[in-house]
Structure 1
């Protein structure tokens, strides 16, 4: 099953974990066949939030949520269950400085696309 591990850090700890530590852990997960994707994000000052209401698109600078910790990156992993996903998340180096939210990935429920001839 796929799980998304969302890494959150506050501004004070944004750069506390060296990229090399994260790359080493990602390589370890990839070697075990559990890594599907992982990427760090730029700081929230680069974010744009998009909202559509009544057909109108509105843009906001930065993240919409008011929170101390900000989304810093993610790991998309393949784990047999939630317990294994939690063990993987506990090994993510920035977890020592912030938090990691673990969420199962839900498959979209859509009809198959018909092939054009």
Structure 2
């Protein structure tokens, strides 16, 4: 079956804070309900911990490394789920149940199969 990635874009929060305990329970319930198709997923550290890498000149130049995310936006890439689903319709149905959809955006993309398989 094809793989799809569901990228969550939300306002960043510190999931270790007590006021987010209920939110964590919602994600746990989602993960348990869809364990049959989930192949991985994690919350990401805040964008302040990101490092951006670029190689100008079509890859022929020296790498440029900078701290932080590429762009400042209200919503940031905050997590992902890797899903093995029969088709895009099933992937979208599962993604529609990710708790972040209520207060953020979920981007679903097919994962390109490995070139060596």
| TM-score, length of structure 1 as denominator length | 0.82
4+ runs of 1 displaced by more than 6 Å?
none
Following superposition, the deviation at residue 60 of structure 1 comes to 1.2
Structure 2 unmatched ranges of 5 or more: 15-19
Distance in 1 (CA, whole Å) between partners of 2:112 and 2:66 is 28
What does 1:1-117 align with in structure 2 at a 5 Å threshold? Answer: 1-11=2-12, 14=13, 18-30=23-35, 33-53=36-56, 54-110=60-116
**Per the alignment, in what secondary structure is the counterpart of residue 34 of structure 2?**
helix
Separation (CA, whole Å) in 1 of partners of 2:52 and 2:11? 19
Instruction: Report the aligned-residue RMSD.
Output: 1.8
Following superposition, the deviation at residue 5 of structure 1 comes to 0.2
Greater shift, 93-102 or 54-63, is seen at 54-63
- TM-score with structure 2 setting the length: 0.82
Q: For 2:101, what is the secondary structure of its paired residue?
A: helix
Q: CA deviation at 1:66?
A: 3.6
